[in-house]
Amino acid sequence: MNVQQLKLLLELQALQHLQGKKEAPTTSFHDLFRELLTPETNEKTEAMRLSLPLMTSGETKAPTYKVSTPLHKDTIHQWIDEAAAKYDVDPKLIYAVIRHESNFNPQAKSRVGAMGLMQLMPSTARMLGVQDAFDPQQNIEGGTKYLRQLLDRYDGNMALALAAYNAGPGNVDKHGGIPPFRETINYVKKVMQTYYAASHIV
């Protein structure tokens, strides 16, 4: 267990107590550790594996879509690896973010306007120099660049970077850690579960 995992566990445990979590409590450190690192088996949070095909628009859980022909998975994997090398971000983290943001649908669009594989908001896309957020290569490049900026901002703390990716850095700074939003807490937990479950990249 590394320092980032320990920090995440302590933050999630503290937030669960503060929120008075109604479901079955996971109050012990051991239980929370096991819950975080044990991959869930249902299809919404199954561990991302590179051998899996890209999801079609009918299989993915992202809110809305445009009709498109799915790209070959190897093409997306190549773009992820290139962006990972360019910005020095672990490719497993990029895969995990895409898995939970869009389920690998390049044309995903959320109800609030987030776009593409890494669900970039229009203002964020502009800030990152992304001209077409539905272009998967541009989207991956922009999203990875943003992850790098957030990792730098929070001294490499993956949990805080992911929380900022989901809720915005303003909310992370305001709350001095992972914001006490159920969506953000669940997002951080699930992305990190997928990240740690991705045992290898081929």
Alpha carbon of 10 to those of 4, 5, 13, 123, 157: distances in Å? 10, 9, 5, 32, 13
Alpha carbon of 177 to those of 35, 159, 164, 190: distances in Å? 20, 9, 9, 17
The contacts found for 125-131 with CB under 8 angstroms, 24 or more apart, are: none
* Residue 12 to residue 133: CA distance in whole angstroms: 32
Identify the residue whose tokens are 């989901």.
166
Helix, strand, coil content of the chain in percent (nearest 5): 55, 5, 45
Identify the residue whose tokens are 């079609």.
56
Phi, psi of 125 (to 5 degrees): -60, -45
Q: Which residues are catalytic?
A: 101
